[in-house]
Amino acid sequence: MEEIAISKIYKRKKNDRDIFQELMPFKVKEILLVATYYDAYTIVREGQFSDKIVGEYLQLNLYTAPRFTSVATNEEALQAMDERNFDIVILMAGLDKESPLELSQEIKKKQPDLPVLVLVNNNSDLAYFDKAADKIKNNIERVFVWNGSTKIFMAMTKYIEDKMNLAPDCKIGDVRVMLLVEDSVKYYSRYLPLLYTSVMTQTQKVISDEDDIDEMHKILKMRARPKVILVSSYEDAVEIVDKYLENLLCVISDVRFAREGKLNDDAGVDLISYVQDKHLRIPCVMQSHDTDNAMRAFQVNADFINKNSDTLALDIFNFIHLKLGFGDFVFRNQSGTQVAMAKSLEDFEEKLKYIPDESLLYHSKRNGISTWLMARGEINIAKKLRRYQISDFKTVRELRQFCLDVFEASRLKQLRGRIIKFRPSLANSNHYVIRLGRGSVGGKGRGLAFLSNFTENISFQKLIKDINITIPRTAIIGVDEYDNFLEANNLLDKIYNEKNYGEIKKQFLNAQLPEKLRKKLRLYLEKMDMPLAVRSSGLFEDSLMQPFAGVYATYLLPNNHEDFEVRFEHLVTAIKLVYSSIFTPEAKAYFSAVDYKIEEEKMAVILQEVVGQEYNGKFYPNISGVAQSYNYYPFSYMKPEDGFAVLGLGLGKYVVGGEKTHRFCPEHPKLQLASIEDQVKDSQNYFYAINMESDQLNLLEDGEDAATLKYDLAVAEKDGNLLHCASVYDARNDRIEPDLKLRGPRVVDFANILKYNQVPLAQTLSILLNIFKQAMGAPVEIEFAVDLSKGKNGLPTFNLLQIKPLIRQEMSVEIDMSKVDKEKLILLADKGMGNGKIDHVRDVIFMDVSKFDRTKTEEMAQEMALLNQKMKEQAREYVLIGPGRWGTKDRFTGIPVLWSQISNAKVIVEQGLEDFPLDASLGSHFFHNVTSMNVGYFSVKSNLATSFVKEDILNQQELVEHVHYFKHVRFAEPLEILMDGKKQISVISFK
């Protein structure tokens, strides 16, 4: 299909975190401090100054403190400006008051936009600068007074940052504005540190209460704190009020300050009246050293703070905490009486459902809800609520439902596609992945998290209209819990020299999961009433470098026992057995094969809802499948890049086990790959399902198959599940008809879906493979399950279960058959997979065809395991040739070896014999390991001109060993193995 431009369809929704990233574009990072040696010494105090500044910032959880560069003279200051860029300049005014004025003029000539602040040593020095106001107004931003605390430097820095960032931050993030109107240097030098410390401490407390966000998010969220804007005249204050009225959080005003250029005794009262006339119920506080002004404050509905109060800091803190939304939200009725209290956002949403109508109206009129939300950095919710007036709703019930809908939509938007900490209330959604324990989520977990993020950031409904695309409800136990489990139970010491895996399993089952995890699992299980898949997610599983596919355990649980404690113990047992599966002989052999140490592996565990429906005591999906974006066995006019898919009815263990499945190309779903005879012969005739009726579940004895049973295809037909999945072979007319009313053998070919597009499955797979291979930067394999019952929007649901990369080296060898010496050919395959040249292999292990017995394939697998072990011990790789399908779980279609039993094979050849199917194990875990490790994989039909194995040449070589079924021969010189990945031609020649 035509390549989909992923950048055009992948839309990262701008959530609060994205908004936080954009806030505060101007940050003060470099400060030039100009002070005499004496003043610098007084402030710096033998080098402790920087430590104190950093301490102030860290205490308020600010990300970085600015760096100070200290110089003593005007000349040094100007020179420093030539050598480095500064964000602000602070001039210390000592005995020489003229020097800072002169330097400020020089600085403004060099950099007119560079903010210059003056810091005086004490209040008595302020008189000089008051008189020089006309001289400094164009060159000096503000004068501050040193009060002995390094907090003044933090306040000076934040004052400049807030002033510079005010306009963009209000536009982008709708941040709140705290307006401080004060003309006294003495008082605003005292107020600003108090305000900033209080605001940041309160913001930090609010954020710390939210335990589901990471530390970086908390730091970013600090940027959404209210801006503190200092002005000193009535006109400047009114300008801020008019321009940022919608963002105004509060007004803190002096009583007497300049209006129309002259001090005015009523300026503060008039300003607050002006604000209150806007009818937005904006909290205001009047502050004065004259307590008689308390009555005037009351008359304009403002609080009052005494500037000379011994508890000034506490008074400001209480105002911010109680009036500005930083404390708990107190729901009140019309008379102001408390009716409920919310301590958190979740608590607030719950209380919102049942508070009295009059309380909701009371807070809606006063804009109190959005103010409180804004203090918590809930920008998106606050903005949505602020857009509406009470008059927009016909009833209070409508208003209440609107508020709840905004909360729900915003929460989903923020959580979608993320891995979030477990909360019981969130367990029943598939829009995110829940984390039940700390640490990495492992390889499969990473794949699922990626799928979750992707499905939430692409509008698949626009691309594929008639099917829902999602992931099942998923929770992950991080690898730290595995480490805790091993350590707390001292398991590594107990199993260090244990060779018997049965004993290892018992040790794991006797051990205890951490109590904190057990509590979470209980809460989780109380919410989950569907069958569960408990799946491994090792660090190395499905990784880009080593696949480890199908090596560890997966347990399916009916999760329907009437006794909760039994269900819980089943879950705990399954988790422990997944943990123990790292130490299976197969896993150990695999670690040895890929040269990894088992101690390096750690296990996360995925708990995933099983896709499907219950039918007559059985639970299974309509369709399970695997699809790959690269097809190593293209047919007819298919191209390798078109990909392929295999489908089966029932649980996915049938498909990944390499059993008889229906294979097709999503780009050409109607193209039939096999003859009618082969379609009938190779059709699926049984399926797997979870047995929902058994009271007994013995995971230890029965293993991964404890809850699953094999059922005849006729059972699925009785359940009504062959309707779209199967056709009938009409022997009279020798054709296959998609009509189950006919008598005859059922052929599982999904004709209604693939040929007649009952469900757009082929189109869905084409689009997904196209998108995901771009996103991963490599060919991919996806596992999926389709539920044909009507779900959301009345549509069937396509569930993405897993994604992993298929590592494939770039095509680098082209074989020109006209130049190949036919006399030296041992093997020619026109269906070969792999790329490149191999020239170090001398050994060939091949089947003695005269001994082949299709009923003895399990014995053959054991024989191969012994031969492979000998090759491993000698560090020799070999060519493996044998009949049928390698790695299948169906012993009648091939030799059912595990990957670890042939791990030293560098080339694997599937040899066709008469009456024995030759169908590569595409889609199985076995095949994934073959492709990812770039093992040559050839399919050879005997005695054809384009595909053959010359056994006579093999039999002429040195015989190293002849066991019952297999011969091991060694060539005198290394073989030349060429694999042309583009043409799928492979040859093996001797020298």
pLDDT in tens, 877-935: 999 998 887 877 777 777 888 878 888 899 999 887 665 545 544 445 466 556 556 67
C-alpha angle with apex 170: 182 to 399, nearest 5 degrees?
A: 110
CA neighbours within 13 Å on the CB side: how many for 548? 30
Kindly report, residue by residue over 371-383, the tens digit of the pLDDT. 677 666 566 677 6
Domain boundaries, the chain: 329-415, 433-610, 618-805, 817-989
Taking 80 as the threshold, does the pLDDT of residue 983 lie above it?
A: no
Q: Which CATH number fits domain 618-805: 3.40.640.10, 3.40.50.2000, 3.20.20.140, 3.30.470.20?
A: 3.30.470.20
Map residue 386 onto helix, strand or coil: helix
- Return all residues near 496 (Cβ < 8 A) that are at least 6 apart: none
What pLDDT is attached to residue 46?
41
What amino acid occupies position 846?
Answer: F
Tell which residue, 559, 575, 588, 437, has the closest CA to residue 508.
575
What pLDDT is attached to residue 545?
44
In this prediction, residues 812-822 reach a mean pLDDT of: 74
Kindly report, residue by residue over 406-461, the tens digit of the pLDDT. 777 666 666 554 667 767 766 677 677 888 888 888 888 888 888 887 777 777 77
For residue 816 the two structure tokens come to 């020109």
377 vs 158, 380, 388, CA distance in Å?
19, 9, 19
% the chain with pLDDT above 70: 81
What pLDDT is attached to residue 573?
94
Taking 90 as the threshold, does the pLDDT of residue 688 lie above it?
A: yes
For 944, which DSSP code?
B
In this prediction, residues 833-850 reach a mean pLDDT of: 86
For residue 478 the two structure tokens come to 């991080």
Is 411 within 8 Å of 348 (Cβ atoms)?
no
Taking 90 as the threshold, does the pLDDT of residue 297 lie above it?
A: yes
As a 3-state breakdown, the chain gives helix, strand, coil percent values, each rounded to 5, of 40, 20, 35
When computed from its CA atoms, the radius of gyration of the chain, rounded to whole angstroms, is 37
Q: Please tell me the total number of residues recorded for the chain in this structure.
A: 991
What pLDDT is attached to residue 325?
67
| C-alpha to C-alpha distance for 280 and 251, rounded to whole angstroms | 12
Is pTM beyond 0.75? Reply is no
| C-alpha to C-alpha distance for 114 and 111, rounded to whole angstroms | 6
Is 519 within 8 Å of 596 (Cβ atoms)?
no
In this prediction, residues 59-87 reach a mean pLDDT of: 80
For 913, which DSSP code?
B
Kindly report, residue by residue over 357-407, the tens digit of the pLDDT. 888 888 777 666 776 776 665 666 776 776 667 767 788 888 888 888 777
- Return all residues near 925 (Cβ < 8 A) that are at least 6 apart: 549, 550, 551, 656, 899
What pLDDT is attached to residue 8?
61
Tell which residue, 436, 591, 589, 484, has the closest CA to residue 492.
484
229 vs 56, 158, 589, CA distance in Å?
21, 10, 67
Residue 668, φ and ψ in degrees, nearest 5 = -135, 65
Map residue 90 onto helix, strand or coil: strand
In this structure, of 496-510, 700-714, 924-938, 945-959, the range with the lowest mean pLDDT score is 924-938
The continuous run of DSSP H or E covering 735 comes out as strand 735-737
The third-level CATH classification (topology) of the domain covering 433-610 is: Dna Ligase; domain 1 (3.30.1490)
Taking 90 as the threshold, does the pLDDT of residue 970 lie above it?
A: yes
| C-alpha to C-alpha distance for 196 and 198, rounded to whole angstroms | 5
% the chain with pLDDT above 90: 30
Kindly report, residue by residue over 717-732, the tens digit of the pLDDT. 999 999 889 999 988 8
Taking 60 as the threshold, does the pLDDT of residue 804 lie above it?
A: yes
Taking 80 as the threshold, does the pLDDT of residue 298 lie above it?
A: yes
The continuous run of DSSP H or E covering 939 comes out as strand 936-941
147 vs 50, 193, 315, CA distance in Å?
17, 11, 20
What pLDDT is attached to residue 48?
45
The continuous run of DSSP H or E covering 453 comes out as helix 442-457
